[in-house]
Amino acid sequence: MSQQPRVNGGRLWDSLMEMAQIGAIPKGGVCRLALSEEDRIGRDLFVQWATDAGCSIRVDAMGNIFARRAGRNNDLAPVITGSHGDSQPTGGKFDGIYGVLAGIEVMRALNDHDIQTERPLEVVNWTNEEGSRFAPAMIASGVYAGVFDLEYGLSRTDAKGITIGQALEQIGYAGSEPMGGRELHAAFELHIEQGPILEAENITIGVVSGAQGQRWYEVELTGRTAHAGTTPMNHRLDALLGFARVVEAVHSLGLEQGAEGRATVGMANVFPNSRNVVPGRVFFSVEFRHPDEAVLVGLDMELREQVAMIADEIGLTWRVEQIFQYAPIAFDSDCIQRVSEAASALGYSQRPIISGAGHDACYLNRVAPTSMIFVPCVDGLSHNEAEHIHPHWAEAGANVLLLAMLAKASEV
């Protein structure tokens, strides 16, 4: 075990803390919205560090930045790693950027140990993973993987009507390299868990075997607005009452699926939203997540049945529309094994885990053998300024990434 190459954990942590100063906000988090001035500064620093580590840089048409470390045989398909540098408006210091800077640290560590890999290695900084400024999320990795076409990707707009294409030009990252279309030997993404499981079980490494499928719905319940003081209870067609019952039903559906079930009502608009009027209409969202597509199909049917039953009991009309579907992801078995073997070789505790969130790796999995590595985050908090990981967790994840990439890069 002592003969395994290791990253420099202190150097990795220093890089994370330096990057965290870009877009720093008062409660300790960051605001580096995609293609903002803060994102540009962060990108420039990434390019500087990658260049200093001996990597060549190329930028594609969606602004994805690829830093390449040459191998003995550069005609072989590369092994890549990376994540994203953009953040939520009040995001944490580690979501996404940890995976990017751990990739840089792998390159630095290989230099320290004077290791030349058979295949070239690359670190990628994906554009607009969060979807906070431009929707949808993971748009640039989606274009790279052929899920979206380039025109669609470049035409997405923010709240001010600025397109991704225009924003890339403004910050100087409108690249000329083509989108995708090349062979990748393997891909790894290192990320914080963004949930509480690993910390609660005192596990250092999550070996990610896949990602949950998702289904998003828009639901509308319509009753009748009425005066709150003059309308008896038994004469009301209260849409908010129906909404409350549907929320409880959705929650129960999630609980029924066991540990992997996720069911959420995250947004609601009440009309007319006046304190002395019985609500006549409620528009709201429902989201289901699960790693089994058959379960998601069942949840779809259950949702429609529950909404219909609740609406009929109160006398409401109803509408349920599915607006988004994301199939469950199964990562590559060999890449998963390489992650597990690396954790074992380094003596880290590990467990298999399913990602509850979408990641760039989920799209990349369509065009390359892919897997992910999770490390714990304190209290499971993410998308929150209080998001935190411990330095030894950061180092452990990067060490696993290093060995997994070395294993795949030695394959000819």
pLDDT reported for residue 326: 85
Q: What is the pLDDT of residue 234?
A: 96
The boundaries of every CATH 3.30.70.360 domain in the chain are 213-326
With beta carbons less than 8 A apart as the criterion, state whether 367 and 385 touch.
no
Count the neighbouring beta carbons within 10 Å of the beta carbon of residue 21.
12
Read off φ and ψ for residue 73, nearest 5 degrees: -125, 95
Range(s) of the chain covered by CATH 3.40.630.10: 9-211+328-409
Per the CB < 8 A criterion, the answer to whether 95 and 382 are in contact is yes
Spatial distance between the Cα atoms of 126 and 132, rounded to a whole number of angstroms: 14
The hierarchical CATH code for the domain 9-211+328-409 is 3.40.630.10
Report the predicted TM-score, pTM, of the whole model to 2 decimal places. 0.89
* pLDDT at site 1: 41
pLDDT beneath 50: ranges in the chain: 1-2
| 322 in Cβ contact with 372 (< 8 Å) | no
Residue 19: per-residue pLDDT: 98
- pLDDT tens, position by position, 18-46: 999 999 999 999 999 999 999 999 999 99
> What is the CATH number that goes with domain 213-326?
3.30.70.360
Residue 138 CA, chain-centre distance (Å), reads 7
- Number of Cβ atoms within 10 Å of the Cβ of 113: 12
Q: Pairing mode, if any, of strands 370-375 and 205-211?
A: antiparallel
